[in-house]
Amino acid sequence: MKKIVIASACRTAIGKFGGTLANVPAAELGSIVIKEALNRANVKPEQVDHVYMGCVIQAGLGQNVARQASLKAGLPIETPAVTVNVV
């Protein structure tokens, strides 16, 4: 049986809707957070088996923003990613 581990979790800054982060694409914000989560857990990108990332307002972001963010963060193309949309 494979051992399941959540190595780290991070989130973006909380701000006002339409505020100072309004012009930063969600995939870019996500990639910054993924890089920090890897850093905190002392995990290399190639050691990640799966990415789960939340994104509340997904309209206009393209397909699977978690996948976009994980690739921008340097994770291998083979690493699957899931975007969770829960308010």
Q: What is the DSSP letter of 31?
A: H
Give CA separation, 47 vs 17, 51, 52, in Å: 34, 11, 15
What is the three-class DSSP state of 84?
strand
pTM of the entire structure?
0.88
- The per-residue pLDDT for range 13-57, each reduced to its tens digit, is 888 888 998 899 999 999 999 999 999 999 999 999 999 999 988
Question: What's the average model confidence in pLDDT over 45-74?
Answer: 94
Question: What's the average model confidence in pLDDT over 60-84?
Answer: 96
Q: How many CB atoms lie within 10 A of CB 2?
A: 5
**Nearest by Cα to 47 from 26, 20, 75:** 75
- Locate the DSSP E strands across 7-79: 51-54
Segments making up each domain of the chain, as ranges: 26-84
